[in-house]
Structure 1
C-alpha cells in the first residue's frame, strides 16, 4: 500500500489545537494585565481635575474614605500665586448645594492638610479665612450633604516653601500676654442676610517651627442671644495667625451674637458681637 502524505496541520490532534488557542489567549490576557496599572493611573489622574498625586490620600485620611465627587457647585476662590505662604486668603461657597451638614478646608501638600471643619447649622455654607500653605498645592473644600456624600471643589495655588514651618514676623514681637484671645468683630445687614466678621488674636503655632510647641485655637462656636447654636467650627494649625473669619447667616438672629472659643492649652475665650448699620 502506498503511503499517503497528509498536510502538516492534519497531524495535530484536537488537544494540540486547543493548546495553541490557549497560548494565544493567555498571551493576550497577559498583555492586557500589563496595561491595567497604567490605565488605572490614567483614570485616577483624569478623575481629579487638579491632577494631584495626593488626592487618594486626602480622600482616605481627610474624608475618612467616605464617598466623594468633584462638584463645580463647591466654589473655592484664592489667588493663583502668592508671595507669602503664611497668609493665603481663601473663600468657600457651597450654597448652591442647598443643605450642607459639614464643610472642610484642606491643602493636599501641607504637612498638616486639614485647616478647618465647620458645621454650618443655621449659617450659610459660606466662609472666608486665611490659611498657611507649605508649597504649591491644591487647596480644596469638601461639603457633605445629607446623603453622606462629600462634594469637592478646589483650586491650585503657587506659593513659596515653608509657610507652615517658618516663624511668623510677629511671633516674637507681639505682646501675647495682653492680646491672646482678644476678639474683634461686627455684624451687619446685607440684603436679607446678616454678615459676620470676627478676628481672634492667637499665634496659631503649628509645632513645626523649632523650639515653638504646637499651640492653636481648636474650637469656635457662634450662638444667638438665647444661647442657641448658629455654627460650630473645629480649627487646626494651618489657619493663619490671628484668624479672621467672614461668615453669613441665612436669616437674621435677634440680639447680640455670642462667641466662645478654646485653644489647645485649655484656654477659653468669650465675647459678643453687636449688629451695626
Structure 2
C-alpha cells in the first residue's frame, strides 16, 4: 500500500513538472526568431495567405548596426525564381520599428534581388516577405542589434539645410557582369527621407520609383517608406541582355517629381 502511494505521488509530481511544458502556447506563431510582434505583423501584411519561413530568402545585414540611421541590407530571393511561377513581390518590414514597412519591390523584368540602407529604431528582426506568383509567401528573417534611435533623429541634409538644393537629383551607373548573367544598376536619389518622428519635421519621403525602357515597358517598381535612409542608394540587378537606355521616374509624398535618364 505504501509503495503504491509513493508511485502515485511520484506520478503526480512528474505531471506537475511537465504539464506547463505541454500546455505552453507558442505566442510567436512559430517565428524562428521568437518575436512576439510576428503574429500581428503577419496578420497585417499577409492576412490568411499561405506562408512559410524559408532559407531560400536570404537577408544579408550586419548582426550589429553601428549606424542605426544607415543599416545596409541586401535581399536575395533568386532561389525562388523557378518556384511558384517566380517572384512577384518583395516586402521588407521591421518588427519593432515605429513604421514597420520599409520597402515594397516588384521585380517585373529585374532579378528578385536588391540592396539599400535603412533606419533602425531598436534591436529587431528584419524580414523579407516574398510572394511568388502562386500566392505563397516565403519569409526570410535576420535579427539585427542596434544602439537605436535611427528613426527619431534628423538626417545630415535636414540639419544643414542642403536638401533644398539637391532634392530629387539622381545619380545612376550600370555595372556589367557583377553577378553572372546580370547587370547591376546603382541609383542614388537625393532626398531627406524624413520619418515624421522628429519634432517639427513632418514625414517627407520618396514613395514611388519606376524604371522604364525607351518603349515604355516597366522593368521594376519600388514603393519606399519612411525608414529608408536619407539620400537612398539602391542597387538592383537587371538581365545581361536587354535595353541600354532607361528612364527613372517617380515622386515623393509631397508630389515632387523624379525624372532622370539612365544609360548603360
Hey, what does 2:184 align to over in structure 1?
Answer: 195
Q: Extract unaligned runs of 5+ from structure 2.
A: 1-15
CA contact (8 A) 2:122 2:145 kept: yes
Map of 2:11 onto structure 1: none
Which residue number corresponds to residue 231 of structure 2? 242
Alpha-carbon distance between aligned partners in 1 of 2:60 and 2:213, rounded to the nearest angstrom: 29
What RMSD, in angstroms, separates the aligned Cα atoms of the two structures?
1.8
How far did 1:273 drift? 1.3
- 8 Å contact 1:134–1:161 — kept in the other structure? yes
Give the stretch that moved more between structures: 196-205 or 45-54.
45-54
CA distance in 1, matches of 2:130, 2:258: 28
1:255 deviates by 2.9
Instruction: Name 1:208's counterpart in structure 2.
Output: 197
Alignment check: 8 A CA contact 2:29 2:38 kept: no
Match of 1:181 in 2: 168
Larger Rg: 1
Aligned residue number for residue 55 of structure 1:
38
Distance of 1:246 and 1:128 partners within structure 2:
5
- The answer to whether residue 89 in structure 2 is matched with residue 102 in structure 1 is yes
CA distance in 2, matches of 1:149, 1:196: 28
Residue 144 of structure 2 is aligned to residue 157 of structure 1: yes
Q: Which range moved further: 45-54 or 79-88?
A: 45-54
Q: Any unmatched runs of 5+ in structure 1?
A: 1-30
Change (3 A) 1:37 1:266: farther
Per-residue deviation, 1:200: 0.3
Indicate the SS of the match to 1:101.
strand
TM-score for both structures, normalised by structure 2? 0.86
2:228 counterpart SS class: coil
CA distance in 1, matches of 2:23, 2:96: 24
1:59-78 maps to which residues of 2 (within 5 A)?
59-78=42-61
C-alpha distance in 2, partners of 1:158/1:114?
Answer: 18
Counterpart CA distance in 2 for 1:107 and 1:198 is 23
Aligned equivalents of 1:264, 1:37: Cα separation in 2: 50
C-alpha deviation, 1:84, in angstroms: 1.5
Indicate if the aligned counterparts of 1:224 and 1:253 stay in contact, CA closer than 8 A: no
The 8 Å contact of residues 59 and 66 in structure 1, kept in 2 or not, is answered as: no
Judging changes above 3 Å, is the alpha-carbon distance between structure 1 residues 203 and 246 closer, same or farther for their aligned structure 2 residues? same
- Shift in Å at residue 127 of structure 1? 0.2
Q: Which runs of 4+ in 1 moved over 6 A?
A: none
Q: State the SS of the aligned residue for 1:57.
A: helix
Match of 2:108 in 1: 121
TM-score between both structures, scaled by the size of structure 1:
0.83
Does the alignment pair 1:39 with 2:28? no
Describe the shift of the 1:210–1:193 C-alpha distance in structure 2 as closer, same or farther (beyond 3 A): same
